[in-house]
Amino acid sequence: MYLKPLSDVFPNPPAGLDPDALMEERVPQHVAVIMDGNGRWAKKRALNRLKGHKAGIEAVRETIRCAHDVGVRYLTIYSFSTENWKRPQDEVVGLMDLFAKTMLAEVDGLDEENVRVRTIGDLSALPAETRDAFDKAWEQTRDNTGMTLLVAVNYGAREEILRATRACMRYAVIEGEGRGELPELTEEIFERGLYTAGIPDPDLVIRTSGEMRISNFLLWQMAYSEFYCTDVLWPDFTRYDFLRALLDYQGRERRFGAV
């Protein structure tokens, strides 16, 4: 359900882009975004990479607002992967500081819009200040009933699958004790061990910067997701780019492996 008129969400669409073509009943329930291109955006402007990450914050704000206003129920943003620790130390330190400051600055506004903020990933490895900022956002917004914003931070899908597998092993040992046989393991049981337990799989996955990679993101959950890739670098991504992705998604027929 649209939370605002489309004319307010997309007030000045570029020529050839018609917001009224968006079908309310076909807005994806869950959109996941691989935000790529901050470094290249900065390099093109002879800036350091952290300036690119800071510039990308406005694109995050715009995407959250737009997704919320058109009725997306779940928005997942890939902020920091388990592999990103391999980046230069000053960039990692700067990112952690940026995460903390941005979350603390934005949480009140998100709360006012009834957005619930969750994280997926292993927060234990984050600096205390960054971890505390994410924890505060969760505590402040956990009872909200509007859109759920999932921030993937220190997230890796392979690690998540291993985590869920270990949970299944514990389940099998506990449930199988005294039976003489292992209990049946189902997808439902496996999914209880995922960070996204209780969250529907993404309908649409958007990747910016022209790259055609999954990058260790939601490997289990994206089994039947629709992909939309754009050459736009993340800091340049606007609500109109988001609209293009939604319209492209709505033009597809999802078959989930059937004919």
> How distant, in Å, are the alpha carbons of 24, 63, 134, 204, 238 from that of 71?
8, 12, 24, 14, 17
Is 124 marked as a binding-site residue?
Answer: no
Answer yes or no: 36 catalytic.
yes
Is 206 marked as a binding-site residue?
Answer: no
Q: Which of 8, 48, 69, 84 is catalytic?
A: 84
Is 215 marked as a binding-site residue?
Answer: yes
Answer yes or no: 216 catalytic.
no
Collapsing DSSP to helix, strand or coil, 184 comes out as coil
Which candidate, 1, 110, 120, 13, places its Cα nearest to that of 65?
A: 110
Is 83 marked as a binding-site residue?
Answer: yes
Is 220 marked as a binding-site residue?
Answer: no
Is 207 marked as a binding-site residue?
Answer: yes
CA distance 39 to 234: 9
CA distance 145 to 114: 6
Is 37 marked as a binding-site residue?
Answer: yes
Contact 64, 110 (CB under 8 A): yes
Q: Which of 18, 20, 36, 69 is catalytic?
A: 36
Mark the binding-site residues for substrate, compressed into ranges.
37-41, 49, 53, 81-83, 85, 87, 207, 213-215
Mark the binding-site residues for Mg(2+), compressed into ranges.
36, 226
Q: Which residues are catalytic?
A: 36, 84
Mark the binding-site residues, compressed into ranges.
36-41, 49, 53, 81-83, 85, 87, 207, 213-215, 226
